[in-house]
Amino acid sequence: MVTADKKALRRALLAQRQLLSDDSVRSASFQLCTRLQTWLASQAVTQLALYRAFRKEPSLDPLEALWPPQHRFYPRIDASRGMEFRSVSYDTSFQRHSMGMEEPPADGPLLQPDKHTAIVVPGIAFDKRGYRLGYGGGYYDAFLPHFPGKVIGVCLNSFVFDMLPQEPHDAPVQVVITESAIY
């Protein structure tokens, strides 16, 4: 059960994020990706699970050029199975999910994560302990406890807080990376 405070905070922060200019999000996204790529290089990562940005999330497009498609994976939501990650090819056409995000086709190779796999988790906000305020679907919270690799949260620095509301099922990330800091 999500608390009323968490729902209200989600609405307020989403409204605040929508006020950001496209140029400021694009610039911050580039800086964030530069910081993230440096961090990934230091971790011996061989597979990378990303997301396609929507609703003014930081864009990870700059990373796509640095990782070959067979080593990049994107989330697909299936109401009966939860979330899975599929790889893409250079000519993959992403499909729009009913919730608004772009996802890869269901026929791409399925991610088989190991300790050298990193997953980049979007969030509306994160706290410095690694807890995330997401959109409320719980897909990442269900997926992350069984993920053996590195778990990185990304958001803009103005959406990092000392502490966010937390529930027992919330799964923290190991590191939070923004355009100007690593927590």
Among all chains, which residue has been given the structure tokens 């899975």?
A: 84
Over range 27-51, report the average pLDDT. Answer: 95
For the record, the structure tokens of 4 come out as 């009323």
Q: Which CATH number fits domain 4-177: 3.30.360.10, 3.40.50.10420, 3.40.50.10540, 3.90.1520.10?
A: 3.40.50.10420
* pLDDT of 172 strictly over 70: yes
pLDDT band at 4 (very low <50, low <70, confident <90, very high): low
Question: Tens digits of per-residue pLDDT, 112-145?
Answer: 999 999 999 999 999 999 999 999 888 999 999 9
Q: What is the pLDDT of residue 134?
A: 93
User: What does the H/E/C string look like for the chain?
Assistant: CCCHHHHHHHHHHHHHHHCCCHHHHHHHHHHHHHHHHHHHHCCCCCEEECCCCCCCCCCCHHHHCCCCHHHEEEEEEECCCEEEEEECCCCCCCEECCCCCEECCCCCCECCCCCCEEEEEECCEEECCCCEECCCCCHHHHHHHHCCCEEEEECCHHHEECCCCCCCCCCCCCEEECCCCEC
How far is the C-alpha of 27 from the C-alpha of 14, rounded, in Å?
Answer: 19
Domain boundaries of the chain, sorted by first residue = 4-177
Query: Of residues 78 and 27, which shows the higher confidence score?
Result: 27
Looking at the predicted structure, is the pLDDT value of residue 103 above 70?
yes
First-to-last C-alpha distance (Å) of the chain: 28
Cβ-Cβ contacts under 8 Å for 7 (sequence gap 6 or more): 136
